[in-house]
Structure 1
């Protein structure tokens, strides 16, 4: 089975989408990779489009046509914004990246301030403005990779040792994730079938989506939902807990409010938002929400019809179920970066050309959320889904790519949407939509803006 068909089939099955004619796929070429990344991009976006089509069919009987452009889908797996007269900030902290150890390689993820502090603490390096990569490299070179990974994790940081696919398959966490479904789904008897209108042009208009996620998978999912009309309310923590690095990309079409969940009044406000939401997407580790008094049973009690979608880095079972992780770290752990290194004859880790685990997981999360909404329309049931970056890595692992495949030609004016987006930071162009459902592209009601400029309330209640 061709990679696109294999990916789409597995996502359809996981989200319980109906069998339907294959979407129309246009565009030629691939991203350069040892894996079928372009096929994954096109299939994951197509699946989200098919979920939209099913939601429309749940109200209007006939499902509309779905079309996806594999070239634009691949480009959406990178930065979607093209600033006019200003520059996007650097995507990585100055000391984040891959480092040689005594016996291999390790990646340090230091974009979050507390992760940077933890990594440098484990290495015995002061966290100052003068700290340079050369200082980190010299300190890392004294460690074995596995020992340093453990030390950084113990300090509250985020790191990943370079492992081969075979080593990951034999690892207890690799075994655990391989046994997990792509989407774990539970269905709960809800209050009654939903009365949403589900317009063909903006099928998520009026849907309230509570977004408790950070870079990149969760925000990708909720950005997609906003693109079909959902009222997406991001709940961000105070600046002393998190500094958002990709707001220009991930706040498109969304509102953002600040809640400090260390405070009882703010936790109570979040409970009210959950009670009034249609969808909740969250990326908290393990039992973090339980510790806040917002575990699964409490959320279900607050809102029996809620579509509740959770994602994490390393899966929901096994010894690493609660471990911090990001796309680049999971690529190191799961063998993806090592496979690329061997396939291309490199002397250092060679990850995917894009953060495909994040983006694919994001579109899978969006597919799940929309599938849950369709279930509400049909019979009133609520639902809960779980997935992970590591499980998406399992999906990708099965589909290698011929490295001689022709690569995409450079981006042109025709790859961009015609309108100027007046973002908070300045004017810019977005990529054109990679997806149309009934020939209607994804579009957003307002541009990207800064974090924390909205009140924690729903619109039109």
Structure 2
């Protein structure tokens, strides 16, 4: 395992580049497909509906999360969905903070659940472990792969004797943002044909597609229409793995969420920041930095960690299906990855900084303190930590982190350049995944 690439793995979305531009460069937008259809990312006021705020009790904090459509969250605390008069970070924070400060954390929990958005009060790890949800999950395994009811004969791997150990495995991916696309990205790295299905009517973060869609084909299907469902069912009939979405029979199904799969909150929506606040990670991170307030990690570590666990459960399910037949259900969560970090133990940001600002500052600090992670290694005669492909769909060079693990006798490399969501024409598995030499 390459330790330096493993370090970069935890925040590779921030390292990715299009034509030399990272997410922090405004010029990158000209290459991206605009999937931020509700301006949850591009409007700074609406973006700050996903941040941590102090409640009526000064020792209690609540992490709002407007997801990718923040109007309901802003309305919940008495604010309009859009405020064209608020454009500066400080003014936006003060406007939202003044409203959140009128509520206790418990009141915000009740309000948040009524609008069914992500959001959670900030727990210490001890308080989380003592909660009903914590007690239901603290002894659960980090991930599960369970055999589903019913029987079917063993389904052997389609291609034997190849260094690309998942060659011929077909993966349908119904995903967004970071965690779930990481599962498919890793499976593609080992040779699987991964088809990511998105809908132009469902929002997604544009830049995360640069890194998350490496090695995949991407199509647009509206599952709410009869034609869309028919196309999906045709693809599903020949698939081996389904990441999220529906749970059919005779398949390896990988299910990722935020709050875990046991306990009273298992159906609540959530994101990496929510898992950090729930499990006590944000409190512990603040203490580590010498602060009395919680601080959400500026890097999406839990997203990539849970994505890696999802790829593990998919691989276990495929192996068990080949050996014993049947269908298998992999279960992973952001919460369980954070609990794994607590079990391993522990080795000048303010809580009011949003994730975009804090991640940019963290990346700048990493580049200053650990420049060897980011400089070209060719001058040292060593293999680069990143690789560059020309993407016809982005119309530019795309730079991403190379695979982390090197397994003797196994080839884990990408065969396709990244692309935006919905870039490929919908066709049969064979036609969409025919071998191409160019960086399509």
Same fold (TM over 0.5): yes
Partner of 1:398: 343
1:366 Cα deviation after fit: 0.5
- 8 Å contact 1:121–1:155 — kept in the other structure? no
1:146-185 correspondence to structure 2 within 5 Å = 146-185=106-145
Task: Describe the SS at the equivalent of 2:429.
Answer: coil
1:120 aligns with 2:69: no
1:425 Cα deviation after fit: 5.6
Task: Describe the SS at the equivalent of 2:273.
Answer: helix
1:457 Cα deviation after fit: 4.1
- 8 Å contact 1:192–1:379 — kept in the other structure? yes
1:237 Cα deviation after fit: 2.5
Partner of 1:421: 389
Task: Describe the SS at the equivalent of 1:276.
Answer: coil
Q: Distance in 2 between matches of 1:217 and 1:122?
A: 27
Q: Distance in 1 between matches of 2:71 and 2:198?
A: 21
Partner of 1:6: none
Instruction: Decide which moves more: 413-422 or 72-81.
Output: 413-422
List structure 1 runs of 4+ shifted beyond 6 angstroms: none
Partner of 1:15: none
CA deviation string 1:356-380 (max 9, x = no partner): 2211111111011112222233343
Partner of 1:73: 6
Shift in alpha-carbon separation, 1:199–1:127, aligned structure 2, 3 A = farther
Partner of 1:109: 65
- 8 Å contact 2:73–2:112 — kept in the other structure? yes
Matched residues, number: 370
Q: Distance in 1 between matches of 2:157 and 2:268?
A: 40
Q: Distance in 2 between matches of 1:264 and 1:185?
A: 32
5+ residue gaps, structure 2:
27-39, 87-91, 348-365, 378-382, 432-440
Shift in alpha-carbon separation, 1:244–1:429, aligned structure 2, 3 A = closer
Task: Give the TM-score, by structure 1 length.
Answer: 0.74
1:88 to 4, 23, 29: 23
Q: Distance in 2 between matches of 1:223 and 1:191?
A: 28
Q: RCO (CA 8 Å, sep 6+): is it higher in 1 or 2?
A: 1
1:448 aligns with 2:418: yes
Task: Describe the SS at the equivalent of 1:210.
Answer: strand
5+ residue gaps, structure 1:
1-67, 290-295
1:441 Cα deviation after fit: 5.8
CA deviation string 1:343-368 (max 9, x = no partner): 32214322345322211111111011
Shift in alpha-carbon separation, 1:237–1:177, aligned structure 2, 3 A = farther
Q: Distance in 2 between matches of 1:250 and 1:129?
A: 32
1:209 Cα deviation after fit: 0.2
Instruction: Decide which moves more: 150-159 or 211-220.
Output: 150-159
Q: Distance in 2 between matches of 1:401 and 1:439?
A: 35
